[in-house]
Amino acid sequence: MIRKANAVGSGRGSAGGGKAKTVAATICLAAAILGAGVVAERVATAAEGPPAGAADTRLWLQTDQGSVYLVQADGTTYWHRARRAAGSSPGLPGWHRRSDLTVYVAPDATAGLLQHAGPEAIWLVDPAAGSVTRGRLTPDRRKALPSQAGWNIPYATVPRPGLAPMQFWEPGPLAHSFREVAIGHPVVAVSDRPIAARD
């Protein structure tokens, strides 16, 4: 299964301390991503245009690294990963397949959701509580044991600047569970008019 990630660390604290925390978090996340066998699946380049089905886009989002998200009527998203957002992490820039679910989380919460995520990781979404938890399936696959690092992280269903898109794919065996996730960089622009995507 493909598990994607493109997360950032906390920007809080002093200028120097915040930068150091961001670098440290990025290094930890890069190790976790590589350890989990992350592969990003590109379905089209910017020149080829958005994948079929994106004609009903109601909102366009852009992140601080230039990635673009097309929000559909049901809240799912198409994601165009910008080249500078991809950096040295696994995967290619370009359009990626439509999510099964997209929510929005605080950037400083992303490390707990991805750190030490292995092949057995599963993400549990609780619509009633408005939170997401990273867990690990039990051998009988009937329940999940929550991770201490990513427990009940609040999310929003409406995008706004400062929050990071969290996309889910591949529903798991439990209600509201998913096997694949990608967390983007913070949103800086929300528009009801097209924002051009560039590779």
pLDDT tens column, 55-93: 889 999 999 999 999 999 999 999 998 887 665 555 678
What whole-number distance in Å separates Cα of residue 74 and Cα of residue 19? Answer: 36
What whole-number distance in Å separates Cα of residue 98 and Cα of residue 120? Answer: 23
Looking at the domain assignment, is residue 8 inside a domain? Answer: no
Cβ-count burial 52-66 (b if 16+ within 10 Å, e if not): eeeeebebbbbbbbb
Looking at the domain assignment, is residue 9 inside a domain? Answer: no
Range of the domain at 91: 15-191
Cβ-count burial 11-40 (b if 16+ within 10 Å, e if not): beeeeeeeeebbeebbebbbebbeebebeb
Indicate the pTM of the whole model.
0.75
Looking at the domain assignment, is residue 196 inside a domain? Answer: no
Looking at the domain assignment, is residue 22 inside a domain? Answer: yes
Predicted pLDDT of residue 145: 82
Looking at the domain assignment, is residue 5 inside a domain? Answer: no
Looking at the domain assignment, is residue 111 inside a domain? Answer: yes
What lies within 8 Å, CB to CB, of 146 at 6+ separation is 124, 133, 134, 135
Looking at the domain assignment, is residue 199 inside a domain? Answer: no
Total structural domains in the chain?
A: 1
Low-confidence ranges of the chain (pLDDT < 70): 1-44, 46, 85-91, 112, 115-117, 148-150, 199
Q: Which residues pair with 154 in a beta bridge?
A: 131
In the chain, pLDDT over 90 holds for what percent of residues?
41
Predicted pLDDT of residue 1: 31
- By three-state DSSP, how is residue 101 classified? strand
